[in-house]
Amino acid sequence: MNMIDTRRSAAIIDGRARARKVLEDVKSQARKWKAKSGVVPGIAVVIVGDNPASAIYVASKEKTAKECGFHSRIETRPATASTSEILDLLGELNVAPDIHGILVQLPLPTHIDAGKVIQAISPGKDVDGFHFVNVGRLATGAVDGAIVPCTPAGAILLIGDILGPDLSGRRAVVLGRSNIVGKPMANLLLAANATVTVAHSRSHDLAALCREADILVAAVGRPELVRGHWIKPGAVVIDVGINRVQTGEGRRAGLVGDVAFEEAQSVAGAITPVPGGVGPMTIAMLMANTLNAAIRGGMG
């Protein structure tokens, strides 16, 4: 029998509860803004083709938008739609007075030029924060004017709840260098004064890099890649992965993150679960971005 129990247990970060709080704020601010200006925030979600995962996410976004008192519009196009048809649609939405936020659900069918589509969204309505103008604002530290991508925006809120807004002296490691999560996450951590390393599939000795991290953000889309012994004791671990796995592989069936949760939980100081962590925050931040876009009146 172990006389000394060295096991510890991380705080499990409740992303659903935090998202609810964000949404309550959004809802009350939207009500005030409507009373003052007569404007109801409006979001348009463009969905191309019939990706079943996309359909679920879009339904969830619409439901949350309604809960916030927003106007919402879903524009569905067949998988056979051309790039120019989508560009025409965006041209319409860009000038629609009742629409303040536009989101084109990714991934798009491969024959569509996703880069062109993203850059065709008016930066002031780009509630995903993927347009060059918003990317550039965030990267140059003009964070207040930027529309920040929803997942990193949600993650930095969760980190701030635990560590406070100033991350001076903290080592952060971001696993993954996507334009959607890894890069904007690194920029937000930098803006909060953290010392940031971005690691990815071509990095050497990921485990050793991760063990340096006071803040570890995993966003690589590899089920349970991050093991318990990769984690620095007491670290804040943010798991952005949403991986659907089958039963019978010696791991939990259903949804798993990029972090082996049970192992990590005995080492980390705080950790986000999957589901119930970063996912709900993503949708909440989308509503916050839409409200802010409405208040700014689609400027810039």
Ligand X SMILES: Nc1nc(=O)c2c([nH]1)NC[C@@H]1CN(c3ccc(C(=O)N[C@@H](CCC(=O)O)C(=O)O)cc3)C=[N+]21
Annotated binding-site residue numbers for NADP(+)? 176-178, 242
The number of angstroms, rounded, from the C-alpha of 56 to the middle of its chain's C-alpha atoms is 16
Q: How far is the CB of 242 from ligand X (least distance, A)?
A: 5
Torsion sign over Cα 34, 281, 153, 255: negative
Question: Closer CB to ligand X, residue 178 or residue 266?
Answer: 178
Q: Which of 276, 295, 296, 300 binds ligand X (CB under 6 A)?
A: 276
Tell me if residue 29 is catalytic: no
Question: Closer CB to ligand X, residue 34 or residue 252?
Answer: 252
> x/- contact string, 37-76, with ligand X (CB under 6 A)?
--------------------x-------------------
Write down the catalytic residue from 21, 29, 34, 61.
Answer: 61
- Should residue 245 be labelled a site residue for ligand X when binding is judged by CB under 6 A? no
Task: Tell me how crowded residue 41 is: count the other CB atoms within 10 A of its CB.
Answer: 26
- SS3 of residue 88 by DSSP: helix
- Contact indicator for 237, 231 with CB cutoff of 8 Å: yes
Question: Closer CB to ligand X, residue 39 or residue 114?
Answer: 114
Q: How many residues bind ligand X (CB under 6 A)?
A: 16
Tell me if residue 125 is catalytic: no
- Should residue 124 be labelled a site residue for ligand X when binding is judged by CB under 6 A? no
CA distance 133 to 263: 40
What letter does residue 148 receive in the DSSP assignment?
A: P
Q: How far is the CB of 257 from ligand X (least distance, A)?
A: 9
Q: Helices marked H in 39-129 — which ranges? A: 52-67, 83-95, 114-119
> x/- contact string, 104-123, with ligand X (CB under 6 A)?
xxx-----------------
- Should residue 280 be labelled a site residue for ligand X when binding is judged by CB under 6 A? yes
**Which stretch, 35-43, 101-109, 135-143, 152-160, contacts ligand X (CB under 6 A)?**
101-109
Q: How far is the CB of 275 from ligand X (least distance, A)?
A: 3
Tell me if residue 66 is catalytic: no
Write down the catalytic residue from 125, 126, 128, 232.
Answer: 128
Q: Helices marked H in the chain — which ranges? A: 15-37, 52-67, 83-95, 114-119, 132-139, 150-163, 182-191, 206-210, 261-265, 278-296
Angstrom distances, CA of residue 61 to CA of 48, 72, 143, 280 = 16, 9, 25, 10
Question: Closer CB to ligand X, residue 194 or residue 264?
Answer: 264
What letter does residue 259 receive in the DSSP assignment?
A: B
- Should residue 128 be labelled a site residue for ligand X when binding is judged by CB under 6 A? yes
Q: How far is the CB of 116 from ligand X (least distance, A)?
A: 15
Q: How far is the CB of 175 from ligand X (least distance, A)?
A: 17
Q: How far is the CB of 127 from ligand X (least distance, A)?
A: 9
Nearest to 146 by CA among 129, 158, 122, 128: 129
Q: Which of 89, 112, 147, 150 binds ligand X (CB under 6 A)?
A: 150
Q: Under the phi-then-psi rule, with left for phi > 0, alpha for psi from -120 to 50, and beta for the rest, what region is 178?
A: beta
- Contact indicator for 162, 155 with CB cutoff of 8 Å: no
What letter does residue 279 receive in the DSSP assignment?
A: H
The residue at minimum Cβ distance from ligand X is 279
Residues annotated catalytic, as ranges: 61, 105, 128
Can you give the binding site for ligand X, defined by CB under 6 A? 57, 103-106, 128, 150, 242, 255, 274-276, 279-280, 282-283
